[in-house]
Structure 1
């Protein structure tokens, strides 16, 4: 019986030590390294303007589709709610998804004054998280004339802004070129 209690006591001590090490010390060390070495990344890459936080460069924002003065991002299955981040889970042959894509294609084509076949895929499909902050350079280019006209700017000036806010492939070969919509819209507002 004494052996049993001794084993229980040793087990309890191991539990307490491991709880402190893995539940307190390790997370605190990871947090501390993140704050010192990667502060911007560890804190959500918050974007500020005039001392006020306006968003995150890694979370998509809802720029109203009916407001022509802004570049629009991808549709969101989560309605841009970070707490509800998720895809729609509708398969490629689901009639609801196909209907939504067709409606979005027609809306984008009408807003941009182009043929439905010229609408890029990222203009009508949500990302896996529903919070993708990027659009393709093709979708950004499609919106240049509308935004320039709504803001009374030269098309070439707006096109240059898109080029200045286009990121290439990571490491030169991973992924696709992309445009951060929040950063582009903030640059547009400074014009």
Structure 2
């Protein structure tokens, strides 16, 4: 049999390599890894699923929302922290918001905007935090006030003109007219409300801290985790919700606090991070009482 040309032999060798590597890495290796995972880490390999009455109700490592039929926080249950993953705790869209501490200026909704994005506007990270804090304060019956937040739940930020020198104009850019600005004047100049569609880029950005010294709503209650899937909340946030849950369930506050303690995990390896409470497991424990 005549020897095949070298270029054909090279192609045959390449095809053989593809077939072998496909079988090894695409079939054998996944099967081995899956078998080891199922044998050694059965629960975790299957998603750390949590069941109640024989029905899967969630995962102990993936957060979820606990809303009523109208889409509002269920007052009988503990609430999770915010999520930036899709519409909330979407495992296919796990992500953070990618907004940083300097994101303090809203894009005000403009009914006359050129497209849907302009008409809807966009909230800054600061306003998102302020709005969440205000809503949680109202839900839990405490003050939702925070530094750099206006009473109406938007970022307390001014644009002053000119950017350098004596101020001649000041605008509360996150409060759309006809809203009353959170502060009446700045350096002797009357503060205006923000006008949708107006360009304030030339002004100097001035966040106003306010006189808030005692923040009742914890940071994790108003900020999303890096993955958007964190199933835990801080002990402080759990304790903030305890009176509301106890009242809604007509049980004693001490009983609810005991459940919080029982469902609190310590620091990783004894020194990393802070103690945390798994919201799903805590809510399931409430149902056992």
Equivalent residue for 1:70, pick from 73, 77, 87: 77
Equivalent residue for 2:40, pick from 37, 42, 47: 37
1:114-125 matches, cutoff 5 A? 114-116=142-144, 117-125=215-223
1:75-94 matches, cutoff 5 A? 75-78=82-85, 79-94=88-103
Aligned to 1:7: 10
Report runs of 4+ in structure 1 exceeding 6 Å deviation. Answer: none
1:62-105 superposed Cα distances (whole Å, 9 cap, x missing partner):
11253211100101112222222221122222131100100111
1:11-54 superposed Cα distances (whole Å, 9 cap, x missing partner):
22112111111111101111111111111011100000010000
Aligned to 2:239: 141
Alpha-carbon separation, structure 1, partners of 2:279 and 2:270? 21
More helix by share: 1
Q: Give the gaps of 5 or more residues in structure 2.
A: 105-123, 145-214
1:113 aligned onto 2:125:
no
Deviation at 1:111, TM superposition (A): 1.6
Equivalent residue for 2:127, pick from 86, 94, 99: 99
Query: Normalising by structure 1, what TM-score?
Result: 0.95
Deviation at 1:114, TM superposition (A): 2.2
Evaluate the alpha carbon distance shift between residue 66 and residue 14 of structure 1 in structure 2; reply closer, same or farther with a 3 A threshold. closer
Aligned to 1:18: 21
SS of residue paired to 2:255: helix
Alpha-carbon separation, structure 2, partners of 1:66 and 1:172? 33
Alpha-carbon separation, structure 1, partners of 2:26 and 2:92? 24
Determine which structure has more spread, i.e. the larger CA radius of gyration: 2
CA RMSD of aligned residues (A): 1.3
Aligned to 1:61: 64
Query: Normalising by structure 2, what TM-score?
Result: 0.64
Aligned to 2:49: 46
Evaluate the alpha carbon distance shift between residue 17 and residue 66 of structure 1 in structure 2; reply closer, same or farther with a 3 A threshold. closer
Deviation at 1:115, TM superposition (A): 2.8
Equivalent residue for 2:31, pick from 28, 35, 38: 28
Aligned residues: 191
Aligned to 2:198: none
More strand by share: 2
Q: 2:73, 2:79 within 8 Å by CA — same for their partners in 1?
A: no
